[in-house]
Structure 1
Amino acid sequence: MIISHQHRYIFFAVPKTGTHSIRHALRAGMGEQDLEQVGLFVKKRFPFPEFANIQHGHISAREIRPVLGEEVYGSYLKFAFVRNPFDRFVSYCAFMARDTNYMDVAPVQFMKHVIRVLKPVNEMLYRPQHSFLTDADGRLAMDFVGRNETMQASYDEVCRRLGMPSAVLEKVNSSKHRPWQEYYDKELVGWVGELYQKDLEMFDYRFE
């Protein structure tokens, strides 16, 4: 997460959506009073005791809102990026299998094992995207939601709204795998669709 008092925005870093590319671009325009919480590549922490034990930067709207207060939270541009849940699940599984050959020799079986046997529901990277971006009533709490699939255009729009110069985004920490559609059979499509149903509905995604 980045909180910019200079440009009056809050960037919510949803896991596995290309957040490091966005962070890298935003850092060029950060001021001395701006804040960042991140735990990979660069390690920075917010000066808030509420997050002293959190070692990552994927903080939700429900967590940060009471800390910042309504004056800041309500007046700053709140934005994030999301990704097709079917694509994101492949990326998650590729990350989990990075030290093995599971995603090369038996990807569908491994992905089914993750979703039906491991069931890592408390794992941050596995959590539905809406859980980071909604308020206590389950309503979207963002002013703008960009899409991983059109990341450059979405980032350009964020910069336009903030009155900041845009920049060409770089690929940072991207997983290596084939097109995500190749990793599914009909059964797995149904399981992943059920798991991330609210993400599919809220952000208008489907298997295509």
Structure 2
Amino acid sequence: MMVFPRENLVFFAVPKTGTTAIEAALDARAAIVLRDPPPLKHMTVASYQNSLRPLLKADYEMMAVIRHPLDWHGSHYRYRTRPALKGTARSTAEISFADFIARMLTPGNPEAEGSQSRFLSLKDGRCPVQHLFRYEAQERILVFLADRFGGPVELPVVNVSPRRVLDLPKDLQAAHETRFARCYDMWEAAQH
């Protein structure tokens, strides 16, 4: 998460949405950068509203990036193939994407990834983020940042997950769309 008082902007680092590249590009311009531990870097909108916003005493505009929900889980799946996780319950190196999604859909699964809609919403379910962009709309994101920061912003290529096949049976895809309907709705409504 980064706060830019001069640009009247708070940027939320939604996991697996290219935020590391945006952070690398804009780090030096931020008045506040929350990097570590991960719960601070990936502070949710609700946590911000309850804890940091009152300290800032300002109503900054909010920006975030949302990824297509199936692609978002695909990024988690690919990321979890890394050697550091080999042999752990979180590793996906030895399972198919379909098996991973089935695990994510299992009620009460403690390993299940959170949801982007929960990350971006207040406790009452509203998403107050004024500048919500689809991950796939990189050009639009760059235009917004250039306008807000007064010049071009170049995003480095960082933190790229390895390629893996992301095949999914239609019934599992339908179950994913049902379970993460709010995420799909938010992604549909985001700027593209």
TM-score by length of 2: 0.80
Distance 2:154 2:167 in 1: 30
Q: Partner residue of 2:50?
A: 66
Q: Partner residue of 1:156?
A: 143
After superposition, the Cα gap between the structure-2 partners of 1:118 and 1:108, relative to the gap in structure 1 and judged at 3 Å, is farther
After superposition, the Cα gap between the structure-2 partners of 1:73 and 1:188, relative to the gap in structure 1 and judged at 3 Å, is farther
Sequence identity (%): 22
Once the two structures are TM-superposed, the CA of residue 149 in structure 1 deviates from its matched residue by: 0.6
Once the two structures are TM-superposed, the CA of residue 155 in structure 1 deviates from its matched residue by: 2.9
Q: Partner residue of 2:162?
A: 176
Kept in 1, the 8 Å contact 2:4–2:29? The answer is no
Q: Partner residue of 1:128?
A: 115
Q: Partner residue of 1:142?
A: 129
Distance 1:15 1:144 in 2: 17
The root-mean-square deviation of aligned C-alpha atoms, in Å, is 2.8
Counterpart amino acid of residue 32 in structure 2: L
Q: Partner residue of 1:192?
A: 176
Q: Partner residue of 2:82?
A: 98
After superposition, the Cα gap between the structure-2 partners of 1:111 and 1:118, relative to the gap in structure 1 and judged at 3 Å, is farther
Deviations 1:106-160 (Å, cap 9, x if unpaired)? 3323432443388236x6xx21112122223211111101121122321321331
Q: Partner residue of 2:32?
A: 35
After superposition, the Cα gap between the structure-2 partners of 1:117 and 1:138, relative to the gap in structure 1 and judged at 3 Å, is closer
Q: Which runs of 5+ in 1 are unaligned?
A: 44-53
Distance 2:72 2:161 in 1: 10
Q: Which runs of 5+ in 2 are unaligned?
A: none
* Count of matched residue pairs: 182
Q: Partner residue of 1:112?
A: 102
Kept in 1, the 8 Å contact 2:77–2:92? The answer is no
2:5 paired with 1:5 = yes
Off by >6 Å, runs of 4+ in structure 1: none
Kept in 2, the 8 Å contact 1:152–1:168? The answer is no
Q: Secondary structure at the match of 2:185?
A: helix
TM-score by length of 1: 0.74
